[in-house]
Structure 1
């Protein structure tokens, strides 16, 4: 198909869904399907086969009622749809990586030619920011007080053994108590406690949790707005490794080529995407907490029950005919792991800025969100692999959670396990080439670590040893001479061996 030859921007989620349906990438499910477990199982099977977006027209809650609001799942279940959501052609996510790298570390042009080449970046910078819209589609319907009832929404119940339905694709918008311009958009799952309360589960290092601590220190509840479903650029901006201090709402304007349209919350002093499908407004209690979980997580296990702050709703707003965006998390492949693998290319230029010797980097999706990295380098001096390992662990917040780094030479394909295991088997000595660090920050969901949030990291140097790294003469890699390869290429068709 040639549909992806014309990338475009999308005014909202439903605009994106219409395009996907025209391109044969969306499947409508017309029969009633239970929100409790059945949608997860259908989604899981379709995602594993690289299948389409799923549009459930009649989601059924656990009371047997059919919701008038359709549910959409598997939105970003393929790399193709992720790139289209970014407004890119298929295979062009590398262009976004270059833009992100330049925005993170801009430099003045060295020549007129370079200045002309930087014009797209200048236009992107001018798109940063937001524009307030008075009559937002996301506020066409407003429910306040008792009307703002979560039971009116088709909230998914993902796995057997979970205690309650779970909001899985929320764009949680918060701001710092002392700096109103410090606004963050994060994705944090939320357990439904009752019709008007949810539990906000976030990791302590995330932006929303950081903002919450500032409000809690002041002894005040924190205002929050939560968008469920928005234009794809806004959704994807919330999962990107953006430069420190850059707002996700602002960066969505870069992706869309225009300032992000926002509206002011009807009950909370925070922005909301003007084109959102559904918006929850409320406050995060500075004092009230509740037990959250257990829930199925990206590790493939149920997480432990822990206490997190409670959100009390003050309003629900929505479009006239909204859709509800949902997903599930589980052992890869799931939708977050597909997103993570596509985002892999965004890290390459960021890492190369810090380490010019890096030639490639791969975060295997099976490694549950950044827990393992394979990195290739152009090796030039002894100890170089260890330097890169230590640098990566401290470079990005995502890499703080990485507990295994394998460093290989540039002749190894980091995406091919056969190549990596060959390098480990022939260029790695367990006593000399292992680096182990204890008591470092780790994903607290990792049950393998001896303490929650604190564990060990392992680095394996599978590079060719040079200089003082070895006293032995290193073997020469086998390879055919170029002239013989060319001669065989020339006669290959005649041999009839295909």
Structure 2
């Protein structure tokens, strides 16, 4: 299934990007305050390459010797490549991941042998612990810790300060063994830099890192944490995938990369860290101390207000001799999280179909913040089926708990085509009959349109053809060109207007 060789580290993936004409180095000095984000956004909106800023200019005017890499996953092609497959194979990979989540028993020896790739994938999740690693070629601890040496961007004019946006934050449960990487949580949480050795860890209550922190805090102890900057693509994408709580993102990265994760013991905290990363910030998250995080520009296109989150004290910075700092921005789509979300939507479709078999296709429009709206096509067979699908999505699948609008269409409609959606809504939906609304349901507290933080309504539109008891009228017949007429037109155009032939 894997179409590309494993990328053991970020640099291996950058080599692939360069080899396919998707990498550009910028030698001109570019300030990390606002300007770098402006350049990144302009390139991303044009479907452009990975950018390496060779001479970042820090907030105090100094030039950093540490290059900044941005737009790593600025196209769906690169996200798929980071997963090891082509865009055309995403659904196949999704089916494979769905089978890993809920494997069915083998049907005879032939079927068992056909599942060897799955067994191999399971074996690749076992980490290999190393004694030394590139990420620890240089170590700064104690008074030498200085976060200002890292060219962390201030992305938007209203931001409170420098913000780390592409960290893989590693934690483990209180009482667990530091050697048991299968218990680790890896999440992408933004980290606000306060000073030379302190930062703010913004993890929301429902995230795995926050759950681990609560366990350590109940025992009155700080939480050991490793903030990994510039991990390999499999680790980066595993940390962003909505995996089951029982699956460690760090070990699952081996399934995606096709090779065992290489880990090394951290220098000052009881954790294992990726051996091939660019930079690791080691530290302890206070069980009691908080600081106001924000405001910062968010994926909604608005600034979120300042709120208290835990403070982390950095005890060591380890890195390669010539480290790269990986960064991105979040804002109103398009941004990298929205592009990654679009790819993950394709990966999730087989799992969603396993829960709701009548679903044929699903689209989460990136412009709707990638999850606030869903368009679903179904194989409709009975009255009320569209409403059942809406309620199943909201109730059965946690990733749709913040989706406040669902449009259900028939399987003759392309759910990712706005013209198709508009036609279905205009000709198959009656507002007095086909709209379902519910109140006081969970919602992202960053949704400023909701009447109360964390609670909002949801709306569903049944834009399917009405059948049976759903209507008392005879339904219209959809006009379609006959196949033989379409073939005649194609043949004629190939001969007379070849530039317009399909």
| Offset from partner CA, 1:31-57 (integer Å, 9 cap, x none) | 211110110010010001011111011
Cα deviation, residue 396, structure 1: 3.1
Cα deviation, residue 484, structure 1: 2.8
Query: Partners in 1 of 2:486 and 2:15 — Cα distance?
Result: 50
| Offset from partner CA, 1:446-492 (integer Å, 9 cap, x none) | 10111111111111111111122122222121112223333333433
Q: Are the aligned partners of 1:167 and 1:326 in contact in 2 as well (CA < 8 Å)?
A: yes
* Partner of residue 230, structure 2: 229
Residues 1:114 and 2:111 aligned together:
yes
| Residue of structure 1 aligned with 2:76, choices 76, 79, 94 | 79
| Offset from partner CA, 1:288-338 (integer Å, 9 cap, x none) | 111111101111111111111111111111111110000111111111111
Residues 1:463 and 2:430 aligned together:
no
1:314 counterpart SS class: strand
* Partner of residue 186, structure 2: 185
Q: For 1:80-479, what aligned pairs fall within 5 Å after superposition?
A: 80-180=77-177, 181=180, 182-479=183-480
Q: Are the aligned partners of 1:8 and 1:88 in contact in 2 as well (CA < 8 Å)?
A: no
Query: Partners in 2 of 1:493 and 1:407 — Cα distance?
Result: 37
Residues 1:62 and 2:63 aligned together:
no
Query: Partners in 1 of 2:450 and 2:115 — Cα distance?
Result: 46
Unaligned runs of 5+ in 2: none
2:228 counterpart SS class: strand
Q: Are the aligned partners of 2:174 and 2:216 in contact in 1 as well (CA < 8 Å)?
A: yes
Query: Partners in 1 of 2:160 and 2:484 — Cα distance?
Result: 67
Cα deviation, residue 87, structure 1: 1.7
1:398 counterpart SS class: helix
Aligned residues: 494
Q: Are the aligned partners of 2:91 and 2:349 in contact in 1 as well (CA < 8 Å)?
A: no
* Partner of residue 32, structure 1: 29
Query: Partners in 2 of 1:270 and 1:494 — Cα distance?
Result: 68
1:489 counterpart SS class: helix
Cα deviation, residue 6, structure 1: 5.9
Structure 1 residues 149 and 105 mapped into 2: Cα distance closer, same or farther (>3 Å)?
same
Larger mean CA deviation between 10-19 and 445-454 belongs to 10-19
Structure 1 residues 240 and 57 mapped into 2: Cα distance closer, same or farther (>3 Å)?
same
Q: Are the aligned partners of 1:142 and 1:318 in contact in 2 as well (CA < 8 Å)?
A: yes
Cα deviation, residue 495, structure 1: 4.8
1:51 counterpart SS class: coil
Query: Partners in 1 of 2:57 and 2:319 — Cα distance?
Result: 20
Residues 1:485 and 2:473 aligned together:
no
Cα deviation, residue 347, structure 1: 1.4
Query: Partners in 2 of 1:24 and 1:494 — Cα distance?
Result: 36
Cα deviation, residue 178, structure 1: 4.2
Q: Are the aligned partners of 2:359 and 2:379 in contact in 1 as well (CA < 8 Å)?
A: yes
Cα deviation, residue 388, structure 1: 1.1
Q: Are the aligned partners of 1:129 and 1:249 in contact in 2 as well (CA < 8 Å)?
A: no
2:361 counterpart SS class: strand
Cα deviation, residue 183, structure 1: 1.3
Name the TM-score, length of structure 1 as normaliser: 0.96
2:391 counterpart SS class: helix
Residues 1:11 and 2:12 aligned together:
no
Unaligned runs of 5+ in 1: none
Query: Partners in 1 of 2:17 and 2:487 — Cα distance?
Result: 45
| Offset from partner CA, 1:204-236 (integer Å, 9 cap, x none) | 211111111222222221111110001111111
| Offset from partner CA, 1:173-205 (integer Å, 9 cap, x none) | 011114455311000001111111111112221
Name the TM-score, length of structure 2 as normaliser: 0.95
2:387 counterpart SS class: helix
Larger mean CA deviation between 409-418 and 239-248 belongs to 239-248
Cα deviation, residue 494, structure 1: 4.2
Q: CA RMSD in A?
A: 1.5
Q: Are the aligned partners of 2:91 and 2:350 in contact in 1 as well (CA < 8 Å)?
A: no
